[in-house]
C-alpha cells in the first residue's frame, strides 16, 4: 500500500510518500527532515487528530460551548467521539480545560472545554 501524506509539522508542507503493509513500513520518501519522517511514519500506522467541535450547554448564556480533545484521538474513532459529544451536555458554570467527557469512547482521551460559560 502506498500513502501520500502532507507533513503538517512545519509550514514547508512536504509531500511524503510512505509504502508498506499494515503497520510495516517499507519506505518513506519526500521528507526533508527527521521530524517529517517520524510524522509520516506515525500517520501511516496510526493516524490521529485533535477533535474540535461544540457541545450542548445547559444553564448558560449560550446554547453551546466550544470543546476539544485534550490529546489527539485515533482517526477511525472521530465519528464515534462526535456522536458521544452530540449526545452529551455540559452544565454551566464551565471553565476552560474543565473535563466534560472522560475517556471518550474508550480512547483514553478526555473532552475538555476551550471556552467559559
Which positions lie near ligand SF4, rule CB under 6 A?
7, 9-10, 12-14, 31-33, 35-36
Least distance to ligand SF4 from the beta carbon of 50, Å? 18
Nearer to ligand SF4, 5 or 67 (CB): 5
Q: Considering the complex, what minimum distance in angstroms separates the CB of residue 35 from ligand SF4? A: 4
**Cα R_g (the chain), whole angstroms:** 18
User: Least distance (Å) from ligand SF4 to the CB of residue 34?
Assistant: 8
DSSP 48: E
Q: Which three cell numbers stand for residue 2?
A: 502506498
Asked if 59 contacts 91 with a C-beta cutoff of 8 angstroms, the reply is yes
Residue 11, phi-psi category: left (phi > 0), alpha (psi -120 to 50), beta (remainder): alpha
Our CB check for ligand SF4 shows the closer of 10 and 50 to be 10
Q: Using an 8 Å Cβ cutoff, are 104 and 69 in contact?
A: yes
Nearer to ligand SF4, 5 or 65 (CB): 5
Amino acid at each position: 500500500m502506498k500513502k501520500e501524506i502532507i507533513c503538517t509539522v512545519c509550514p514547508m508542507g512536504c509531500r511524503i510518500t510512505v509504502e508498506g503493509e499494515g503497520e510495516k513500513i517499507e519506505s518513506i520518501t519526500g521528507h526533508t527532515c527527521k521530524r517529517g519522517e517520524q510524522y509520516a511514519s506515525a500517520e501511516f500506522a496510526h493516524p490521529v487528530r485533535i477533535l474540535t467541535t461544540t457541545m450542548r450547554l445547559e444553564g448558560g448564556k449560550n446554547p453551546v460551548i466550544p470543546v476539544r480533545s485534550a490529546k489527539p484521538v485515533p482517526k477511525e474513532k472521530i465519528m464515534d467521539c462526535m456522536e458521544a459529544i452530540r449526545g452529551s451536555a455540559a452544565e454551566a458554570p464551565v471553565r476552560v480545560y474543565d473535563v466534560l467527557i472522560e475517556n471518550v469512547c474508550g480512547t483514553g482521551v478526555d473532552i475538555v472545554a476551550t471556552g467559559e460559560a
